[in-house]
């Protein structure tokens, strides 16, 4: 069950980390989206805090390591 949690969290972080133009924007929004998704998935298996930590780290790393040309969802709503 732990491997499926990590896999789902990484996929959610990868799919949604494309917000923003700069690496900082992408890391911030990817981390927030990953933490939210990880908390939801973690709550299903009884570990929401661990899921949020794993999802946040995966989302932030994915957002920082991807290029805006790889995944571009447009300008973030907070700008």
The domain locations on the chain are 2-65
Residues 18 and 45: their CA atoms lie apart, in Å, by: 27
User: What are 18's two structure tokens?
Assistant: 């494309």
Look at the block and give the residue holding tokens 């989302």: 59
Could you tell me which of 11, 9, 3 has the C-alpha nearest to residue 71?
Answer: 11
pTM above 0.95, yes or no: no
The pLDDT tens digits for 19-74 are 567 788 888 888 888 898 888 888 888 888 998 999 999 989 988 888 777 666 66
């Amino acid at each position: 069950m732990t491997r499926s949690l990590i896999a789902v969290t990484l996929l959610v972080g990868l799919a949604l980390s494309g917000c923003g133009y700069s690496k900082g924007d992408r890391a911030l929004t990817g981390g927030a989206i990953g933490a939210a998704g990880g908390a939801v998935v973690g709550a299903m298996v009884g570990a929401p805090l661990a899921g949020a930590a794993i999802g946040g780290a995966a989302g932030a790393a994915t957002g920082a390591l991807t290029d805006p040309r790889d995944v571009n969802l447009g300008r973030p709503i907070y700008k």
